[in-house]
Amino acid sequence: MDRLARIAELSGEIRSRRLFCEFIESGGRVIASESDGGPWTDVTAATVARECRRIETLEHTRRRLMPEEPVRHDRGR
């Protein structure tokens, strides 16, 4: 995958995960079961923490591929 395609993929995933976090912050809940037929438990806090860490990792990767400062190609001119 070329660099620009990877940046686009990362940007889309970051946006999607941020929207999910906004949903939770607006009152959404995440309920899960450890196994089929097992009891349901609220895992909202753990999910938000995991998503925030994942977003930070994705943003770091994207910054490595696309630094904020534009690259100058006119060295010494």
Tens of pLDDT, residues 12-59: 999 999 999 999 999 999 999 988 889 999 999 999 999 999 999 999
Model-wide pTM > 0.85? no
| Local structure of 75: helix, strand or coil | coil
Domain that holds residue 31: 3-65
Asked whether residue 34 is domain-assigned, the answer is yes
Interval 51-63: pLDDT, tens:
999 999 999 999 9
Q: Which two tokens stand for residue 28?
A: 């959404």
**Domain contains 44:** yes
CA 33 to chain centre: 24
Is residue 59, in this structure, part of any structural domain at all?
yes
What tokens does 24 get?
A: 């939770």
SS3 52: helix
